A and B are shown apart, each in its own frame.
Chain A
């Protein structure tokens, strides 16, 4: 992937390790990707593959016992590039980016909002730290934000507490908080996992509108391939701390060249094929993060394993915007071309 002018955030060879009881989990083991302005990057993968750690690394919201060991996170802001990984976690510079330039919404809107403060307070808090608006302006801005998120009666709802909101409305309120300072990047960590399917569609539609109207770059973490097909411009497939395949959504979903991507796509039940359709679950389990295979992390579960897989495969560009980590990619490419 060439570095263009439209890149909002680039991550290079990021290594984030988490330490517990003197053991080290190499949660991210050399991850590289770019988020393009006004585009949606979907990061997919199983639980524990490092999706959320990636998001936390960018926001510098990692748990205390974890550290960015190596690599670069560069935010391409209006004032030139900023190396996020070099900033102090809770320093003023990081805080100025967090929330204002890069905002985040979380998985469970039921617990992500503070129950003892009104929704309005929690929106205005953001405006207070990142804008110069006065008290009254902040209040009317909060109402406007709720209205644009499709919350009915925002003038009244603004003073209500989270427990009076439904799940979908809470996630809208959460997005209102995240979008309040017009961030250049919005990171959404499985924003609809805790919501009903009908509400999911509404939330995604809302995010898509925001992307188109404000040019916000979105990094969407999900494990739902349907969502990827619907929303993504770019996809990165993660497995055990590596991006095993990345590229534009059309190429990755239609012509996947990594066996893991293929296995993921094969494991989705298809509507209309009836209840007798064969769903190919991926055999085996993800390896113990503290006791990883030395070579390709997916080798143990891979149907195409060869002896070369005992070594970690390099990241290989199969097209100028399509990248894979697999020794046998040429065979899969030939296969995909048929």
Chain B
């Protein structure tokens, strides 16, 4: 098991190198460069070309592409994430400030969608064809097809403005710092962010559960004279769980992508919100780091999914 984890971590290195290169290449190919962003447009037009070139040289932009990539990636590997072009703040500081908020939101949404999705999916499968199952199916289709920002706006309208149960947005109020103080702020964005994934997990858990329940070992379990709940949960759900966990792993990028929008809607001070403004202002160093971070998050998540799969399904043999 440990050798497997070590090996998986080692295979992450070439993947990160390839992906970071693609990120760098992608931004290299976009029009404009750092200098064109740093200088206000009106001044840019009147500046003489030699002066601009000088500025580029001083920023290291005159060097060949591969050399610049090397300087960037070796810096990143040593913990030097560079500086944001907007305000010259170290990117590591932005990450430290913003990352906890994004992680908090994503993990909350992940937990909600996993737990709620599998429970509702299981109920749906166990009551197949009933009114419960049919209404859950309709709700599931709605959840998958309606975009999250719409849910976000509706939720704000109902729960924040009309009912005044929850705050409109933000992560906290000045002076309130404990997790419990922040919790009301988290509820709405996390719920809204999890809707689409909950619906997906629910539909998937339902079919996975139906598949498990139709297998022969369910009949064997029944033939032992065990109560229905034990047959359904211990034998059915446990087997149905493996594909659901794999699905959740694959859906993680969706969650990260979704949090970019939700953070905007709820004024959540996370990395996603920072990402949008960085893209808009061509803040390349920051865009690259956020992109690289998302990739890492997905890779680590898929590693965790593989390990979980191995734990719950003995047929998946790891390492030795």
Contact = CB atoms under 8 A, between A and B. Distances in A.
Interface stretch (A3-11, A113-121, A262-270): A113-121
A147 interface: no
B239 A115 contact: yes
B51 interface: no
Interface stretch (A91-99, A138-146, A220-228, A241-249): A91-99
Interface string A34-74: 00000000000000000000000001010000000000000
Interface stretch (A76-84, A122-130, A303-311): A122-130
Interface of A: 59, 61, 90, 94-100, 103-104, 106, 108, 111-118, 125-126, 129-130, 161, 163, 174, 177
Contact of B235 (A97, A114, A163, A177): A114
A114 B220 contact: yes
Contacts of A97: 225
Interface string B214-254: 01110111111111100000010011001000000000000
Q: Which of B216, B222, B224, B314 gathers the greatest number of chain A CB atoms within 10 Å?
A: B224
B313 A111 contact: no
Given A95-B226, A100-B225, A125-B226, A116 B313 contact: yes
B226 A61 contact: no
B216 A111 contact: yes
Interface in B172-224: 215-217, 219-224
A11 B312 CA distance: 43
B216 A129 contact: no
Contacts of A90: 227-228
28 contacts: A61-B219, A90-B228, A94-B225, A98-B222, A98-B225, A99-B223, A99-B225, A99-B226, A103-B223, A106-B219, A111-B216, A112-B219, A113-B217, A114-B217, A114-B221, A114-B238, A114-B239, A115-B314, A115-B315, A116-B238, A116-B313, A116-B314, A126-B224, A129-B224, A129-B226, A161-B314, A161-B315, A177-B224
B215 A111 contact: yes
A116 to B, nearest CB: 6
Contact of B223 (A59, A108, A117): A59
A245 B222 CA distance: 32
B216 A106 contact: yes
B223 A111 contact: no
Given A98-B225, A114-B235, 18 more contacts: A61-B219, A95-B227, A99-B224, A99-B225, A99-B226, A106-B220, A106-B223, A112-B219, A112-B220, A115-B313, A115-B314, A115-B315, A116-B238, A116-B242, A116-B312, A116-B313, A116-B315, A125-B224
Contacts of A95: 225-227
